[in-house]
A and B are shown apart, each in its own frame.
Chain A
Amino acid sequence: MSNTDFSICEDCLGGQTRLTRSFNGAECKICTLPFTVYHFKANSKVNRTLICHNCSKQRNVCQCCMLDLQWHIPVELRDRILSTVQGSQVATQEAQNEMMKRFIALKNGDTYKVGGASVTSDSVATADAVESIRKTVGRLQKSQENRDSAKARVTPASVSTADVSHLTKKLPLKGTLSSAQSFFIYNLDPSIPEWAIVDAVSELVGTVAWQDPTSTSVTINHMARCGGIRFKSVEIAEKFRLGLQSFVTPAKTTKGKLQVQNSKLHIVAWPQYHRAALGIKNAECSKLAQILDKQVQSDLATADVAKSAPKPAKIRKSSKASESKKSKRTKRIMDIEL
């Protein structure tokens, strides 16, 4: 095998032409065999090759950064892209067993390619792949948009019969957006990360120092699709409250709206900020999510009122009916347990 060759991408090499070679200098991180290591100084730091040249050829990756030599993306991502483009599963399977790792290392990297390397190591196939990416991108974008619009309608799937009255007692379900130092958030899509909410709030109040450094200021329970935020001072909280968009529900209560990513959070004041009220157990959380979802439906009914008055009422009635049914069922279960 050619011991004196290497494949290092331009980014890692940084135009460096002087490399130090040490034969059998280290263990390859993929095949565990000794290989010829190259050290070099680029971008004011010392780099070294981590995998052997054969392994890098098999996967068509740089020996230093392990990104694809052609596209400069991680192997996993490259395979994912190629599998969406080609419609077949492309994956770089890695051996778990040491013997198997060494066995694969015996295969010549010039002819034996793993996963998507067969495409990106070949200039013709790469050009073809780029063309098919061009074709699929438009389709993917469209489907993504569809999904984004569909996301808003996701409802909690599982039906749980847990009794959450002890939680709902503490939650401001009938609350309004009034002055307070802490607020309750619901209509929260589970895919929204906490940092997005924190960023949105920081932007609204114009400072990042709204969190109290001595206690938790943001608590989000993604399972229950709700959360709470607490401000350091009343002034900042007031600024936050005034900055929110507000709307009036059919029950004549005012609630706040905060746009985070592509969903709108509903916000009401929650003076008794309490973590335990957000639920811990899975069953509790999903039940709470259901109740909050109903709440959101009734909040949003205003928009429908103008169009068709009886409709929201019907929804509410049916939801009430189902709730009473559920409470009966929970009672029955409790009886059995007793």
Chain B
Amino acid sequence: MAPESLSREGSWKKRPAPIQVSEKELPSSIPPQTGLTFNVWYNKWSQGNTGRSRFVSPYKLDTESHEGYTRGDKTKRAFFCLYFTKGMCCLGKRCEYLHHVPNAEDIARLSLQSDVIDCFGREKHGSYREDMGGVGSFRKKNRTLYVGGITGALNDLALKAGQVENRIRFSFGKLGPLERIRYVETKNCAFVKYKHQASAEFAKEAMSNQTLLIPSDKEWSDRREGTGLLVKWANDDPSPEAQRREKEQQDQESLKVMLDLLEKNDAKIADASTDNTPSKKRLLESPEADNNSFQRSIFGSLSKNNLNRLKKLKAEKPATDRANQSSPASLVDYPSSDED
């Protein structure tokens, strides 16, 4: 993994990121007219829906020539430029976000961030959208993308299944280390699984509404007539073998985490025995925790930070804290229990 990241970095780290689209040529933010009135709130045309609602994006990320360093590299920013991903950043090296394909170093930096933010710095949602599009959910680590709309992306060009898979593999493989690709010929869709979640997020934005045609096809000049790829989050693979594999991976992961937990726990205990102050804290904590279950649960839910702050006021703490916590709790209990 390490040598790969090094050599790839070498190619883009030396040159400034080029401007992908000049500011004057940027398209209007209003999509092509498909209805009678424009809904400013949803950024969509409504009424009398005629014609297509999806279009092939006129811009495409070219991984070889578009990568480069930006201001974001100097300020050690962890997030990628969404416009760069779509091939339409007009800032070039002045961009505050990163302009390159996520590599091992970026993945490590992103993993320090929480799961609730994707690689572009957007907040994820509680659950997936109904159509599985969009930013995705923070509840599930999803590394698999569903690739649909292949017929539209090929402008109805009839290709053999192997060729279609090859094109998908080629265009998605450039955006991060792949784990597996599965093209389902009967459904004309593909599932692309990446090694890292950040790569999947990146590829999802980069490949949405792109064409699968290549310049040597005779349909290449008409590529804008198609509808482009439909890239969404995938659901779990229902095949028993995939489930078994998934379970094995999860078991391995949880075993690793369990070992980590034990290690951390041992370190904490060692700390407590060597240092004086933490052991006092422990003494202070445990009798309160034993008071009753209610009191205990309050304590657990408090953040460590709050706890530490409270512990600083050692003397008056137990009395004030109990008073603090019990009064709001009883207030909350009141409406739900008595009104019924």
Contacts and interface: CB of A to CB of B under 8 A. Distances in A.
Given A137-B258, A202-B4, A195 B296 contact: no
B4 A111 contact: no
A84 B247 CA distance: 12
Contacts of A94: 126-127, 139
Contacts of B305: 8-10, 13
B294 to A, nearest CB: 6
B126 A121 contact: no
Interface in A190-215: 190-191, 193-195, 198-199, 202-203, 207-209, 213, 215
* Secondary structure dominating the interface of B: helix
Nearest to B193: A193
Contacts of A96: 127
B303 A69 contact: yes
Contact of A7 (B193, B303, B328): B303
A190 B248 CA distance: 13
Contact of B304 (A69, A76, A108, A111): A69
Contact of A222 (B140, B163, B170, B180): B180
Nearest to B77: A45
B166 to A, nearest CB: 5
Interface string B93-136: 00000000000000000000011100000010111000000000
A30 to B, nearest CB: 6
Interface in B239-261: 241, 245, 248, 250-255, 257-259, 261
Interface of A: 1-2, 5-10, 12-13, 29-30, 50, 56-57, 60, 62, 64-67, 69-71, 73-77, 80-81, 84, 94, 96, 106-111, 113, 118, 120-124, 126, 130, 133-134, 136-137, 140-141, 144, 147, 190-191, 193-195, 198-199, 202-203, 207-209, 213, 215-216, 218-220, 222-223, 275-276, 278, 280-281
B336 interface: yes
Nearest to B308: A10
Contacts of B329: 108, 110-111
Contacts of A66: 114-116, 138
A5 B309 CA distance: 13
Interface of B: 1, 3-4, 7-8, 64, 114-116, 123, 125-127, 138-141, 160-163, 165-166, 169-170, 173, 177-183, 185, 193, 195, 241, 245, 248, 250-255, 257-259, 261-262, 265, 285-286, 289-290, 293-294, 296-306, 325, 328-329, 331-333, 336
Given A60-B301, A108-B332, A123 B162 contact: no
18 contacts: A7-B301, A10-B304, A50-B116, A60-B300, A64-B116, A66-B114, A69-B301, A80-B254, A111-B297, A120-B300, A137-B255, A193-B193, A195-B178, A202-B4, A216-B169, A222-B180, A276-B161, A280-B165
